[in-house]
Amino acid sequence: NVLLATNIHSIGARHLFPCWDEPELKATFQFRFTHLQKYKIWPISVSERSAREDYKRNWLCTNSFIEDKISTYQLMFILTNFEFSIKTKFLAYNALGIYHTVIKLSIASRSRVENSMQVLYDVSNKILHSTWYHKIPLRRNITLLAIPAMKEDVMANWGLIVYEESLVTYDKQLDSYTRQREVVNTVARGIAYQLVEENIVTLPWWSHLWFNKGLAALLHVQILDEVFWEWGFMDLFVVQVHQDCLHLDTNFIMKPLLYEVQTSSEIKSLFSFPIYVKAPVILRMVRHIMGKMFEESIKKSIIYSTYSWDLIQVHTLCGSMDVIDNQELCNYTMKDIMETWITTNNYPIAHVHRNESTLFICQSEEEFYNDNGSKALRHWLPITFTTSEQLDFNNTTPRDWITPENSNRISVRLTHKNEWIILNLQQTGYYRVKYDTNSLKFVTNYLLHENYEKIHVLNRAQIIDDTYYFLMRGEVTYNTFMRLMNYLARDRDYIAWYPMLQIFIDLSYFLPFAESAVIKQDMRYILKKLLSTLSYNEEVDDNDLTMRLRQEAIKWACIFGYTECQHTATDKLKEHLEDPTNRK
């Protein structure tokens, strides 16, 4: 079997044919492929024509015409002699309520794995009927192609989404529930990237690549969260991507999202993990700052591009996001606010200090410097918060701002001196929060003794992650940290536990040393309490995340030396070896 696939990415087209490959330049294309009859060219063009080659036996000449104007980096062709089985479905809907469209969805896979492609077919069908897709007038038919031995997980370009076959096959009899989630995630990623690349935004220059990739990654999670709401994809995004991004962005490990590039190597350097991690995190923050206007701005841009039949440019789309619902910021635009977030690395820290029943919030006065030695600009800090009296974690629109020029503190009056406050609701802002000793103590007391579920799970996870960060910086004592961690013995939510599971990985490096005895004892205590309520056995009504938490809790309890857990694990292994079929 033969498989040839182009993967142009940015400036790769110049290796295939002479061209201007600046991203803002677009053209129609006509290609002629001469190949053996047994090979097939993907994507299949509506105007494709094949004819026998006059001078070569068993050869064909295939002409493919791309009628839409696209950039060279959006080109992708695949030549293969694999035998494909193709499922086709026509989808009709009113996009934006004004534009009726009918597209053909084709899913092609090798015949031998056709029966394992049902999830790919079902998920793509659900996603294309999601709310986001009804906001966008799709321009052409879509083909989803699963092929083996691909270098990349997913490639999405003009009318074609290609998946590495092993990542989208699912056997209900053999594969786990977690495997199904992974397949769903991969399928949605390809569709979301193709959606943005083809239907929303075009790049004026490669420096703006972060916006396309970030918007695609954010829409990927939003669509999944809508279609498969019970799986909590957005919550997982916050603890797995947002929090990891904070760790990676410490001490300038990551480059800024936006910086000037000119040479080939500089352009290729843009296709690195920061734009896939930090860009969607920043755009999620913008979405919560703007509220409904974020989607309205994209919708307006889509309407414009629909009737002009040209994709909107990044700077035009950002310009349509100018309106900010805050009187203090009436003279500023989103472009002003986003400037420091995308042109500098690292992130700010919000400090909370209390004086009796008054709280003061300020931005860290710590100074950062760019790679060239210049002082980094301070950020626009969107402040969201709630108190133990309000308990409103759903209002993620900023209540106040700390501006780069404003060194004054924000003051918050509390009803009594023991009232607590939590900043950065649902961790929508890209910053950490440093509470003073009393403020953190009051939050910890509530988590330990009251209904901890009244605090949003993302803020429970955020407090754990931030507190550990300040512990490692020597700004929080170990006793303070462990008192907060003890509340986790009550919490059975995988999202809340996720940062602690990452902390376990850090702590595991110290376990071979004798000094780790206290740490092991403390971790055993928390995990023992958790397993007493979570149990070692799966329940019928357990969801996927609960099962994952149980697996992690058992694994780490054994690693930290909890003997009951080790004995239980040994017994279960013996049962499995005696009856592998019924005791998996």
Residue-wise pLDDT for 127-159, tens only, equals 888 877 777 666 677 889 998 888 888 988 877
The dihedral of CA 126, 220, 393, 505: what is its sign?
A: positive
The reported pLDDT for the residue numbered 306 is 52
Question: What burial class does residue 490 get, using C-beta atoms within 10 Å of its C-beta: 0-12 exposed, 13-18 middle, 19+ buried?
Answer: middle
The stretches of 87-176 forming alpha helices (DSSP H) are: 118-127, 165-168
| pLDDT grade for 332, boundaries at 50, 70 and 90 | confident
Q: Taking all residues of the chain, what is their mean pLDDT, rounded to a whole number?
A: 84
Summarize the confidence of residues 495-512 as an average pLDDT: 94
Given the structure tokens 């075009």, which residue do they identify? 202
Mean pLDDT of 300-322: 55
Burial 501-522 (b: 16+ CB within 10 A, else e): bbbbeebeeeeeeeebeebbeb
pLDDT at 485 over 90: yes
Average pLDDT for residues 312-326, to the nearest whole number? 55
Backbone angles phi, psi at 519, to 5 degrees: -60, -45
Q: What percent of the chain has pLDDT over 90?
A: 36
Give the range among 174-188, 248-262, 269-283 with minimum mean pLDDT.
248-262
What per-residue confidence (pLDDT) applies to 305? 57
Q: In sequence order, what DSSP letters do the residues of 112-126 get, joined into one string?
A: GGGGG-HHHHHHHHH
Looking at residues 50-64, what average pLDDT do you find?
74
* pLDDT, tens only, 333-371: 777 888 888 888 889 999 999 988 888 998 887 665 555
Rounded Cα–Cα distance for residues 222 and 487 (Å): 30
Strand partners, 29: 66
pLDDT class of 307 with cuts at 50, 70, 90:
very low
Q: Assess whether pLDDT exceeds 90 at residue 378.
A: no
Cα angle for residues 62, 66, 70 (degrees, 5° grid): 140
**Whole-angstrom distance, CA of residue 469 vs CA of residue 474:** 9
User: Residue 31 — φ and ψ, nearest 5°?
Assistant: -120, 150
Average pLDDT over residues 529-547: 88
Cβ-based burial of 17 (10 A; exposed 0-12, middle 13-18, buried ≥19):
exposed
CB of 216 within 8 A of CB of 196? yes
* 212 band by pLDDT with thresholds 50, 70 and 90: confident
Report the amino acid identity of residue 500: M
Cα distances (angstroms) measured from residue 478 to each of 389, 469, 519: 29, 12, 10
The mean pLDDT of 69-95, rounded to a whole number, is 81
Is-contact 228 127, C-beta < 8 A?
no
94 has pLDDT over 80: no
- pLDDT at position 372 over 70: no
Cα dihedral sign for 149, 155, 161, 163? positive
- For 441-471, the pLDDT digits (tens) are 999 999 999 999 999 999 999 999 999 999 9
Cα 385 from Cα 420, distance rounded (Å): 10
Q: What is the mean pLDDT of residues 412-435?
A: 93
DSSP SS3 for 360: strand
Q: What is the mean pLDDT of residues 435-444?
A: 96
Tell me the β-bridge partners of 143.
Answer: 106, 160
The domains of the chain, with CATH numbers, are 1-81 (2.60.40.1730), 86-199 (1.10.390.10), 201-343 (1.10.390.10), 348-480 (2.60.40.1910), 510-583 (no CATH)
For helices 563-578 and 544-559, angle between their N-to-C axes, nearest 10 degrees = 120
Instruction: Read off the pLDDT band of 560 (50, 70, 90).
Output: very high
Q: Residue 329 — very low, low, confident or very high, per pLDDT cuts 50/70/90?
A: low
What is the structure's pLDDT at 221?
94
Q: What are 24's two structure tokens?
A: 């803002």
User: Average pLDDT of 555-580?
Assistant: 90
Asked whether the beta carbons of 363 and 402 are under 8 A apart, the reply is yes
Q: Which residues pair with 360 in a beta bridge?
A: 353, 411
Minimum mean pLDDT range among 40-44, 89-93, 317-321: 317-321
CA distances from 338 to 278, 289, 414 (A): 13, 11, 31
How much is the average pLDDT of 190-206?
76
Mean pLDDT check: name the lowest of 302-306, 358-362, 395-399: 302-306
10/272 Cα distance (integer angstroms): 13
Q: Which residue has the higher pLDDT, 481 or 215?
A: 481
Asked if the model's pLDDT at residue 309 lies above 50, the reply is: no
In whole angstroms, give the CA distance from residue 519 to residue 508. Answer: 10
